[in-house]
Amino acid sequence: MVCTRLSRVDKNPLGALMKHAFFIFILMFPALSFPANAPIYSSYSIGNPGLDTLRKLNEKFDVARRTANGYEVIVPEDRAGELLKIVPLAQLVEKDINDVFRRLDIANPGWRNEYRSFDSVQKELKQISQSHADIALLENYGVDEQSRQLLVLRLTGKQPLRADVPELMITSATHGDEIHTVEMLMEFIQGLVQGYGTDSRITKMLDEHVVYFIPVVCPDGYVHYTRACEGLDPNRDYPYPGSPSHNSIAAIKNETLWFAKHKIAGSLDIHENLSTVMYPWAYTSSGPSQDDLPRFKEIGKVMAEDTGYNFGQIADVFGIARGSSADYWYWKGKTLAFGFEIGGRFPGQGKPSRELDRGNEEALRHFIEYF
């Protein structure tokens, strides 16, 4: 069984059903202005494969999620034949995954207004840096392939910074269709800047840490509300020990160049909707070093308890997945790097409940306070 290290904190069957249903839906998020030459992606269901088959699938395609009866795999339409050679009994679920959201646009035309656009995120970050200039600094660390600005917001307290103050990084929208990640992170940022100086816990957190926030890692995917960024899965586009010279797309490459200028002690890359806290490695079934594993487990289990989420190693949750952000940060910086898969709801049916967000936010607070 693949998930040998996966533990379950919350066994609420209704909650599990909601999470399962939402994850199917969010993986099918389409482009707002879908490029005319964009490839068509299809969704396939496969039964529980052996480990060798699962590794082959992860090498060629996006094994997007685990289901009750196997896995959901996203495949370019013109490569369906490759999939069927590996798994002849694979079942087509959706010929074009973007059709689901096209139908939603017809059924509920105003649903997109519930969420921040890329431009509104950029504007909000600039407003925060101007209104809270004593604790906030906005930096531009490059542009993507379409010359969109890549922004990172630094928050830290007014106390003089010591040389050993931990630097942390929290990111979202690596996959552009995971729009709830941006909503949750932006609300968390607003809570920090508004609470500094009046809330003793928040004040202590920022006085004792430097926290960098990148709410939109891949603007191209977020603008078009698609999982892909420049035609690729961005969370399979980072170099890793087995492919150290991999040439990433601009959004990922510039993020890694920015990272190299800092000594990041811990990182969270927020995704949805597997409801899981995960640690490296992803590219191999081997775990992190014995020196680091207890620390990963210590903070990871706390975040899982805060949220009721699963907890485990990425390779155990997904199978082998090469080119993930968590692997890169851990490999290059010895960073305690986590993938944080939040729960949520269908787009068009309202944002996640405040109760759910409070659990996510508490997990983020405990993550920061650990260092």
118: enclosing H helix or E strand: helix 118-131
Name residues of the chain where pLDDT drops below 70: 1-38, 160-162, 344-356
Six-digit token string for 39: 């490839």
Task: Tell me what pLDDT residue 52 has.
Answer: 82
How many other CB atoms are found less than 10 A from the CB of residue 13?
7
Q: How far apart are CA 185 and CA 181, in angstroms?
A: 6
pLDDT given at position 126 = 98
Q: How far apart are CA 57 and CA 75, in angstroms?
A: 10
CA–CA–CA angle 46, 51, 57 (5° rounding)? 50
- What are the phi and psi torsion angles at 27 (to 5°)? -65, -15
Residue 130 confidence (pLDDT): 98
Counting other chains too, the contacts that 241-246 makes at CB distance below 8 Å and 24 or more residues apart are 241/283, 241/327, 241/331, 242/283, 242/284, 242/322, 243/322, 243/323, 246/323
Q: Tell me the whole-structure pTM to 2 decimals.
A: 0.83
Neighbours of 61 (CB within 10 A): 20
Q: How far apart (Å, rounded) are the C-alpha atoms in residues 61 and 59?
A: 6
Mind listing the domains of the chain with CATH numbers? 27-111 (3.30.70.340), 116-370 (3.40.630.10)
Contact indicator for 207, 159 with CB cutoff of 8 Å: yes
What is the pLDDT at residue 133? 97
pLDDT in the model for residue 102? 78
Amino acid making up residue 257: L
pLDDT of residue 164: 84
Grouping H, G, I as helix, E, B as strand and the rest as coil, residue 104 is: helix
pLDDT, position 297: 97
pLDDT of residue 273: 73
- Supply the pLDDT for residue 38: 63
Starting at the edge strand that comes first in sequence, how are the strands of the sheet with 149-156 ordered?
A: 136-143, 149-156, 210-214, 167-171, 264-272, 336-342, 276-279, 310-313
Residues in a beta bridge with 212? 154, 169
Backbone angles phi, psi at 219, to 5 degrees: -55, -40
pLDDT at 99: 79
